[in-house]
Amino acid sequence: MKAGQASRTAELVCMGRAAAQGRTSVAGFDDPTALALLPEEARRRVERLRSDTRPTGVRERLAFAYLKRLAEMMALRTVAIDNAIRSASTPQLVTLGAGLDGRAWRMPQLREATVFEVDHPDSQREKLGRVSRLTQTARDVRFVAVDFERDLLDEKLAAAGHDPASATTWVWEGVVMYLTRSDIERTLAVIGSRSAPGSRLVVVYQRPGVVRSLSTLVFRLAGEPLRSAFTPEAMRAMLEAYGFSVKSDEDLSAIRASLSGAPNASNGWAQRINVLRIAVADRAQDEA
């Protein structure tokens, strides 16, 4: 992300959730917070899509089609992570790179949980100006501003009151692909050291592939280049090295099939969403 500006990627994924609200076939998706968390121009773009107003220009039509597909992708991703959070039911939730995530304002399952929203100060500043429109459902929400080029995550979490002796669900939803391997492992070391038995880590990552290579160019032009990709085997080995056992690791196409009962599609869009994977890994109850 560019200095002094909120993450463009965080805005895009929030637009996808807002566009999907009430208009997707993905079972279990519900995010009434997304539209309220968007900046004004992005909100207007989503509202135009939701009004079924057909764009006229080529550029507008391409953006319209992209947003429609992004909505399906984000609905799938959101439901899979929501389900992982619910089933873990830990007293602490840490969202790394929280962006415009609205779980602390929409998930009743967090009513007994303390939510730590970790993000860059520039992104967090804009979000803080919008959450006043929402009703908090989590017991407590603590905003942890972290500039990863200057600040130490471990120190920031400790200062915010995160308890390493209490189980934590860690959500690393849209960040890993923008980090180098060394940055990922540096964060995993902190997660591992602050995860009590019964903790859970949910990681969204990208596997290598031609479609990912094309995406790398697009995101580089947007100022947020993609820097990492892992095979499921490599991701499993890395998570195990930091004390987590992988419970599931699926691409979005498989998640779509499990939610709808429909077979995996084989078209170009299915290939695109197959690049994204979600790994759910647990710290065993008898581990320190």
Give the pLDDT confidence of 181-202 residue by residue, as tens digits. Answer: 999 999 999 999 999 999 999 9
Mean pLDDT confidence for 122-140 = 94
Q: At 57, is the pLDDT very low, low, confident or very high (cuts 50, 70, 90)? A: confident
User: What are the C-alpha distances in Å from 249 to residues 13, 59, 174, 255?
Assistant: 21, 36, 16, 10
The pLDDT of residue 214: 42
Distance (Å, whole) CA 204 – CA 194 = 20
Identify the residue with better confidence: 53 or 100.
Answer: 100
Res. 205 pLDDT band, cuts 50 70 90: very high
When the pLDDT of each residue in the chain is averaged and rounded to a whole number, the result is: 88
Residue 123: CB atoms within 10 A of its CB come to 22
Q: 190: which residues sit within 8 A by CB, 6+ positions away? A: 153, 154, 157
pLDDT tens for 254-284 read: 999 888 755 555 444 455 567 899 999 999 7
Instruction: Give the CA distances from residue 261 to residues 28, 156, 257, 265, in Å, rounded to whole numbers and listed in that order.
Output: 13, 43, 5, 12
**Over residues 109-121, mean pLDDT:** 97
The structural domains of the chain, ordered by start, are 8-282 (3.40.50.150)
In this predicted structure, what is the pLDDT of residue 286?
A: 59
210-243 confidence digits (pLDDT tens): 444 444 444 444 445 788 999 999 999 999 999 9
Q: How would you class 159 by CB atoms within 10 Å of its CB: exposed for 0-12, middle for 13-18, buried for 19 or more? A: exposed
- For 277: left if phi > 0, alpha if psi spans -120 to 50, otherwise beta; the answer is beta
Secondary structure class of 22 (helix, strand, coil): coil
